[in-house]
């Protein structure tokens, strides 16, 4: 599990699929994230209601997209609806080690252990265990903890990792997405419930 401090600022939106596609497409033409940010704020491309919200959403989306390689950004703009969401979930996991650890040690472990669901209790137990190693979690108010849980489960449903009943949806990647995963860090295959790939990664680790 991650030993460094956790950033827990992921309550801005959820997966932000539609908005992320707009910004990634803009990046393909501008090639600089600062220019993307300025253009989005100038045009309110994410249709935020206030300037503060616009800036917050823009900064959040860019911070996630920056974790993607050039090849992954290109794939994001060409992929089908479902695999776009898988890749955005990977970006979220890279951006937030807390979510990455949850994806591996709860979602993946439940999946390969034939427990095909993720519960709020799973989250609460995981949060408590992580708080032993991450003192920053102890400082989070109960209301914020619940908001973080709500946002995380919403993200997983929007990423098509969980269904509306919080049952795990097995990921069946196509050939192009498998090529993307092959270039990722080996542990990142465990961000998604892909049985044959995640078992190989776990054995290699």
Tens-digit pLDDT profile for residues 56-88:
999 999 999 999 999 999 999 999 999 999 999
Using alpha carbons only, give the angle 69, 199, 194 rounded to the nearest 5 degrees. Answer: 60
pLDDT tens, position by position, 115-137: 999 999 999 999 999 999 999 99
Q: Is 114 left (phi over 0), alpha (psi -120 to 50) or beta?
A: left
Q: SS3 for 37-56, per residue?
A: HHHHHHHCCCCCCCHHHHHH
Low-confidence residues of the chain, pLDDT below 70?
1-3, 195-205
pLDDT at 118: 98
Segments making up each domain of the chain, as ranges: 14-66, 81-204
pLDDT for residue 196: 65
Token pair for 199:
């078992």
pLDDT of residue 5: 84
Contact 205, 104 (CB under 8 A): no
């Amino acid at each position: 599990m991650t030993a460094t401090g956790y950033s827990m600022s992921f309550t801005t939106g959820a997966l932000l699929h539609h908005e992320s596609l707009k910004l990634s497409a803009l990046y393909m033409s501008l090639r600089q994230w600062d220019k993307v940010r300025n253009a989005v704020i100038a045009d309110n491309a994410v249709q935020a209601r206030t300037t503060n919200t616009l800036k917050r959403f823009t900064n959040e989306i860019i911070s996630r997209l920056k974790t993607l390689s050039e090849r992954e950004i290109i794939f994001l703009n060409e992929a089908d609806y479902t695999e776009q969401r898988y890749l955005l979930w990977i970006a979220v996991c890279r951006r937030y080690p807390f979510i990455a650890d949850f994806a591996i040690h709860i979602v993946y472990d439940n999946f390969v252990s034939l427990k095909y669901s993720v519960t709020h209790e799973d989250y609460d137990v995981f949060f408590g265990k992580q708080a032993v190693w991450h003192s920053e979690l102890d400082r989070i108010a109960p209301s914020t903890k619940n908001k973080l849980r709500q946002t995380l489960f919403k993200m997983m449903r929007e990423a098509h990792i969980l269904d509306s009943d919080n049952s795990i949806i097995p990921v069946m990647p196509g050939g192009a997405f498998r090529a993307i995963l092959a270039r990722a860090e080996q542990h990142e295959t465990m961000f998604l419930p892909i049985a044959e790939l995640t078992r190989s990664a776990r054995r290699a680790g």
